[in-house]
């Protein structure tokens, strides 16, 4: 993945990370097990993405056990500073600041301290899109649709920079924005005014400008919801969601994501969608190997290969996932499919999720080589590894 110019730490976590903002979670017990245990064994498989020198990141990887590596691929929503610090100390690679999180975390250097609480600096994330999906005190950011209708592309970049600088000052390093969905839905629908436009060309211009502004401000952007949620049949919080077939997505919905891959220096979030001609039976895109291959290889929709980090949408608050899988099962399946970071909205089941992924590594469903590839993608995004 290309270097992110101004970012020094990355932190992930997301509140309306998916098609709309999840409800506030119940208080959750602490994880049942710690992450730093002896390495397990598993068969190796060829790694994905562009080839790098064999020594790239080797020293970094050598310092981590298998369970610590797994922890780096997990991002959890947190209730308050203590909850966030505990998760990072237990090995979580990222925390997500949601609508339910105590607002005191935004002041007094709290999040900067949280990010440094673990063996590896953690990602701290939010989903500051503007409009109805806004988490940052004082952001005062309009919705994507209003921004595109009332501002020039240059002004959109300036807005991204303004909000990015504000987030960075609070210790946030990752924003699950911009929303690159192409949609004509009514403003208050699942995507609605979160989309810049129903015209792919407009979405390309404004999403790229806003992402560039976030980078200018020192925050890492993550485009969502691959491969396109704008023409969805419903809300993935409430159940399975279908979108047009892949052949149709290539002509419209995938255009902004193709441009985002070309521009580089950003992550991608995969939604929970059923795509005829792409997803396997019973698997939403977030758990679909075919979807991850489409994004990683690029050739299936005319894009360059993508070697940045792939994030899942929330795996715990979406019935499109939870109707069939527990959180630990979904976390393991998403990483097996090819995601790099599995996200859910509480610290509950952190230990159980590590156990599930470790079992996947031991069985060979997730190879050591694939595990290391993902750890290094995340580490490069954090600038913990610089090759």
Active site residue: 83, 179, 235, 237, which one?
237
Residue 172, pLDDT score? 98
- Note whether residue 33 is domain-resident: no
Domain count, the chain: 1
Does 225 qualify as catalytic in the annotation?
no
- Note whether residue 21 is domain-resident: no
The pLDDT > 90 percentage for the chain reads 80
- Note whether residue 20 is domain-resident: no
Q: Which one has a higher pLDDT value, 48 or 164?
A: 164
Q: Is the pLDDT of residue 236 over 90?
A: no
Residue 238, pLDDT score? 58
Q: What is the pLDDT of residues 26-37, one digit of tens each?
A: 333 333 334 443
Q: Is the pLDDT of residue 156 over 60?
A: yes
Whichever domain contains 334, its CATH number is 3.20.20.300
What is the model's pTM? Answer: 0.87
Q: What is the pLDDT of residues 309-336, one digit of tens each?
A: 999 999 998 787 988 999 999 999 999 9
- Note whether residue 49 is domain-resident: no
Q: Is the pLDDT of residue 111 over 60?
A: yes
- Note whether residue 136 is domain-resident: yes
User: Residues 333-350: what's their mean pLDDT?
Assistant: 97
Q: Which one has a higher pLDDT value, 26 or 221?
A: 221
Residue 27, pLDDT score? 34
Residue 328, pLDDT score? 97
- Which structure tokens are listed for 379? 């580490």
- Note whether residue 40 is domain-resident: no
Q: Cα(361)–Cα(37) distance, rounded to whole angstroms? A: 14
Residue 239, pLDDT score? 58
Q: Is the pLDDT of residue 170 over 70?
A: yes
Active site residue: 181, 313, 372, 373, which one?
313
- Note whether residue 23 is domain-resident: no
- Note whether residue 213 is domain-resident: yes
Q: Which one has a higher pLDDT value, 46 or 223?
A: 223
Domain that residue 221 falls in: 58-76+129-382
Residue 234, pLDDT score? 64
Does 237 qualify as catalytic in the annotation?
yes
């Amino acid at each position: 993945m290309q270097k992110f110019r101004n970012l020094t730490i990355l932190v992930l976590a997301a509140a309306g990370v998916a098609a709309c903002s999840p409800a506030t979670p119940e208080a959750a017990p602490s994880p049942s097990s710690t992450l730093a245990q002896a390495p397990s064994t598993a068969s190796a498989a060829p790694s994905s993405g562009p080839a790098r020198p064999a020594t790239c990141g080797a020293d970094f990887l050598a310092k981590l056990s298998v369970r610590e590596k797994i922890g780096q691929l997990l991002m959890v929503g947190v209730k308050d500073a203590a909850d966030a610090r505990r998760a990072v100390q237990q090995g979580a690679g990222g925390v997500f600041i949601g609508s339910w999180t105590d607002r005191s975390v935004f002041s007094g250097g709290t999040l900067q301290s949280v990010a440094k609480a673990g063996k590896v600096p953690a990602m701290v994330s939010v989903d500051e899109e503007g409009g109805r999906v806004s988490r940052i005190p004082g952001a005062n950011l309009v919705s994507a649709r209003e921004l595109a209708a009332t501002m020039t592309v240059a002004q959109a970049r300036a807005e991204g920079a303004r909000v990015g600088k504000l987030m960075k000052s609070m210790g946030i390093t990752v924003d699950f924005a911009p929303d690159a969905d192409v949609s004509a839905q009514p403003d208050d629908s699942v995507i609605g005014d979160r989309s810049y436009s129903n015209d792919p060309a407009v979405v390309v211009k404004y999403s790229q400008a806003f992402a560039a502004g976030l980078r200018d401000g020192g925050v890492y952007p993550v485009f969502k919801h691959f491969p396109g949620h704008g023409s969805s049949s419903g809300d993935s919080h409430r159940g399975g969601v279908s979108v047009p077939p892949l052949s149709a997505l290539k002509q419209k919905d995938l255009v902004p994501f193709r441009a985002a891959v070309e521009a580089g220096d950003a992550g991608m979030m995969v939604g929970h969608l059923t795509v005829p001609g792409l997803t396997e039976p019973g698997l939403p895109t977030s758990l679909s190997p075919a979807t991850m291959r489409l994004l990683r290889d690029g050739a299936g929709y005319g894009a360059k290969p993508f070697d940045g980090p792939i994030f899942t949408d929330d795996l715990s608050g979406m019935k499109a996932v939870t109707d069939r899988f527990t959180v630990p099962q979904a976390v393991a399946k998403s990483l097996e499919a090819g995601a790099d970071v599995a996200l859910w909205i509480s610290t509950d089941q952190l230990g159980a999720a590590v156990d599930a992924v470790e079992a996947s590594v031991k069985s060979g469903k997730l190879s050591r080589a694939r595990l290391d590839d993902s750890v290094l993608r995340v580490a490069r995004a954090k600038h913990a590894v610089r090759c």
